Structure 1
Amino acid sequence: MENITLSNGILTATINPKGAELNSLKNNNTEYIWEGNAKYWGKHSPVLFPIVGTLKNNSYLYNGQPYALSRHGFARDNVFTVKGQNENSVTFSLSSNEETKKVYPFDFELQLVYTLNQKSLEIKYNVINKGAEPLPFSIGAHPAFALPGNFESYSLVFEKEEPLASTQLENDLIGNTSIEIATNGNVLPLNYGLFANDALIFKTLTSNAITIAKDNEPVLKVNFTDFPHLGIWTKEDAPFICIEPWQGYSDATNSNGIFKEKEGIIILPENETFTAAFTIEILKGKKL
């Protein structure tokens, strides 16, 4: 299936049906999404479902039975169908099948809805429980934004000035310690040393938006009101930054493996729908 392109005369978005993954977001030929160079990281903006992060021993228990499930789940590796499309919006759908039930024994439909609105792109997730029992899941976003030029000329401007305590990972799992991330007011200047222990993970924030700025000029804003947790990540020398709104996160190091008791898990009643959205707003030409 070919990529789907949306355009409103201001922004152009390109989405790959595999993973319903945003591959490109352009304004006046300026690309804002990471190109996916496998030298650093070969993805652009994968959806994380039905887990965010890593499970302890890459497995979980449901009704006493073990299931294997790899990091960030399987949705990003599956081809979605196009359920509806117009000039400014497209809806992708992935439903449970024999293969998904081998690792996740639930009936579900996952929809990703992309909508252009002036200088912003909304990405909405609908998780529909189509089974006869509660649906446990986590979901998250992993967009990577291109940072051409000197990485240290960029900064992250949080919506509010607040203490930033990043939960430390231990072997990809949530550990018992956190470190304070130093800021200049609500501004976090970027440097690769911030990510020496992998991602920054914020279980709680009062900010609902982060602006990427270059030399104190705003580039774009990620608004994530519907998501209580946030990850920020890059790799050494890589010219991108991931700002990752999450519902859920990795297992804790002391996890008992029981899926319904996992930290950050959502339990969706039968026949109900969970909805959450975030937006990417292009700010080039505006002032902080």
Structure 2
Amino acid sequence: MTTTISNSILSATINHKGAELISLQNVTTKREYIWEGNPDFWGKHSPILFPIVGTLKNNSYQYKDKIYSLPRHGFARDFNFKLLAEEPNKVVFSLQDNEATLAIYPFKFELQLIYTLKKSELIVAYKVINKSAETIPFCIGGHPAFTLKNKFENYSLQFESGEKLISYQLENDLLSDKTQEIGLKKNELPLTYSLFEHDALVFKNLNSKQIKILENHKPIVNLRFNDFPNFGIWTKTNAPFICLEPWLGYADTTMANGNIQEKEGIQLVKSNSYANYNFSIEIV
């Protein structure tokens, strides 16, 4: 089941499974900006990453002397969300803990995804509500894939600031202490598949809080992510999409001890409290 919201400029369609954005279109030109989800390359569009981002060491974690297992990027993307509220330009989805989640993540919670269209911008908001009697540890992030209709090398990413980009290399899906500097040309990163020969580019701290996708040096998308200090960029060889991923948290390091409360990048929300985060996709 899907729900579509729209205004005079954009329409956005969200799948109730995972509350996943599956389409963002210009209503006049009908241009699509979200990856179609062709499984020959990658069968997702823009999944929510919760309650972890990336991979845990041994796919497991420890909490109160008990070992739990969680799959890569968590479980929220695999559950059907409840439609809580719907307006022409706004929709609210909710996932609450259940028997299946409590078996692998022993916390009572509610995760809300709120999509709001404002002119040429889609705001994607996350609300993590702690319904437990104890503090909840979690990570959360977005994974939107933007479709590229022209040759991959015709695109580049324009960063907000001319910073030195330090990417942490992955070893068996875990973050190692090996890094590589990614060079920018006038704040731009020309896209080539060779950038991703060792999987995703992972940045623990990014000074830029917005990244533009340029098509033939002209901006087509502007991603803003003030609430997210960590970031991933990813594609697959020959795939016509680029993923720009704002994160709170990241994969375990190769030296992780397994204690979820000591995990690098972990977030905490106290009992009977909540945390809000959002990023936005502006069509330029």
TM-score (norm 1): 0.97
SS of match in other structure, 2:251: coil
Q: How does 1:54-73 map to 2 (within 5 A)?
A: 54-73=55-74
Counterpart Cα distance in 1 of 2:63 and 2:219: 46
User: Gapped runs of 5+ residues in structure 2?
Assistant: none
Aligned partner of 2:85 in structure 1 is 84
Structure 2 residue identity aligned to 1:3: T
Shift of residue 196, structure 1, vs aligned partner: 0.5
**Structure 1 match to 2:165:** 164
The residue aligned with 2:20 is 21
Asked if residue 194 in structure 1 is aligned to residue 178 in structure 2, the reply is no
2:44 corresponds to: 43
Corresponding letter in the other structure for 2:171: E
Provide the rounded CA distance (Å) in 2 between the counterparts of 1:208 and 1:182. 18
Shift of 1:139: 0.1
What is the letter of the counterpart of residue 198 of structure 2? N
Give the Å deviation of 1:214.
Answer: 0.8
Structure 1 ranges of 4+ moved more than 2 A? none
Distance, in Å, in 2 between the alignment partners of 1:137 and 1:204 is 18
Deviations 1:231-252 (A, max 9, x none): 0000000000000000000001
Q: Which position in structure 2 is the counterpart of 1:208?
A: 209
Q: Which amino acid aligns with 1:134?
A: T
Residue 9 (structure 1) shift: 1.6
CA apart distance, 1:223: 0.2
Give secondary structure in 1 for the equivalent of 2:85: strand
- Give 1:23's aligned amino acid: I
Distance 1:247 1:261 in 2: 15
CA drift of 1:275 comes to 0.4
Equivalent residues in 2 for 1:1-288 (5 A)? 2-27=1-26, 28-283=29-284
Q: Deviations over 1:245-284 (max 9, x none)?
A: 000000010110011110000111101111000000000x
Q: CA deviation at 1:185?
A: 2.1
CA RMSD of aligned residues (A): 0.5
Where 2:194 maps in the other structure, the secondary structure is helix
Amino acid at match of 1:195: F
* Separation of aligned partners in 2, 1:225 and 1:258: 28
Q: Distance in 2 between matches of 1:206 and 1:250?
A: 20
Question: How much has 1:206 moved relative to structure 2?
Answer: 1.0
Task: Give 3-state SS (helix, strand or coil) of 2:258's partner.
Answer: coil
In 2, Cα distance between the equivalents of 1:67 and 1:162? 39
Letter in 2 for 1:40: F
What is the CA–CA distance in structure 2 between the aligned matches of 1:170 and 1:7, rounded to whole Å? 42
**Any idea what SS the aligned residue of 1:260 has?**
helix
Alpha-carbon deviations, 1:139-193, whole Å to 9, x = none? 0000000011210000000011110010111110010111001110200000000
CA distance in 2, matches of 1:222, 1:277: 11
Q: Which amino acid aligns with 2:31?
A: T
- Quote the offset at 1:205 in angstroms: 1.2
Cα distance between partner residues in 2 of 1:12 and 1:162:
34
Residue 286 of structure 1 corresponds to: none
Question: Distance in 2 between the 1:160 and 1:142 partners?
Answer: 22
Q: Which amino acid aligns with 2:67?
A: P
Seq. identity, %: 56
Provide the rounded CA distance (Å) in 2 between the counterparts of 1:105 and 1:206: 34
Alpha-carbon separation, structure 2, partners of 1:93 and 1:205? 30
Partner-residue secondary structure (3-state), 2:101: helix
Could you report, residue by residue, the CA deviation over 1:203-227 in whole angstroms, capped at 9, with x for unpaired residues? 1111000000011111110000000
* Structure 1 counterpart of 2:180, one-letter code: I
Name the SS for the 1:162 alignment partner.
Answer: coil
Distance 2:280 2:194 in 1: 28
| Separation (CA, whole Å) in 2 of partners of 1:260 and 1:25 | 37
Q: Distance in 2 between matches of 1:193 and 1:182?
A: 13
